[in-house]
């Protein structure tokens, strides 16, 4: 590994890290894709997305007959939520 340039200064430990967001869109709506096609597109997105040392989160949500739900996957943790009816809301904590 080459040494850093003389003008390089390491960022202080309290400096926020850069956030990179990648969104992979489906080629068609989920309703128009077969399960095999949707799985293939999801698999390609998973393989393309990971960066060494990164934390990957995958999310999805849907609405059917006025009822909404959302899910997320991170590492080996997967969970889903039934959202309240009415206006959409988003909260990360």
Q: Does residue 77 belong to any structural domain of this protein?
A: yes
Q: Does residue 75 belong to any structural domain of this protein?
A: yes
Structure tokens at 88: 């959409």
Structure tokens at 32: 């128009």
Domain total in the chain: 1
Give the pLDDT confidence score for residue 52 in this predicted structure. Answer: 65
Q: What is the CA angle 86-88-92, rounded to 5?
A: 135
Q: What is the pLDDT of residues 31-77, one digit of tens each?
A: 898 889 988 888 887 777 666 666 777 777 777 777 777 777 777 77
Q: Does residue 71 belong to any structural domain of this protein?
A: yes
Q: By residue range, what is the domain housing residue 80?
A: 56-85
Task: Give the whole-angstrom CA distance, residue 51 versus residue 12.
Answer: 23
- C-beta of residue 24 within 8 angstroms of C-beta of residue 43: no
User: Residue 83 pairs with which residues in a beta bridge?
Assistant: 68
Q: Please state whether the predicted TM-score (pTM) of the whole model is above 0.85.
A: no
């Amino acid at each position: 590994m080459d040494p850093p340039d003389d003008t390089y200064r390491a960022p202080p430990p309290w400096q926020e890290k850069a956030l990179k967001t990648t969104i992979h869109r489906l080629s068609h709506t989920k309703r128009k894709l077969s399960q095999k096609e949707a799985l293939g597109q999801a698999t390609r997105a998973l393989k393309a997305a990971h960066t060494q040392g990164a934390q990957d989160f995958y999310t999805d949500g849907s609405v059917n007959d006025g009822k909404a739900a959302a899910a997320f996957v991170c590492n080996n943790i997967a969970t889903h939520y039934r959202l309240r009816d009415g206006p959409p809301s988003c909260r990360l904590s």
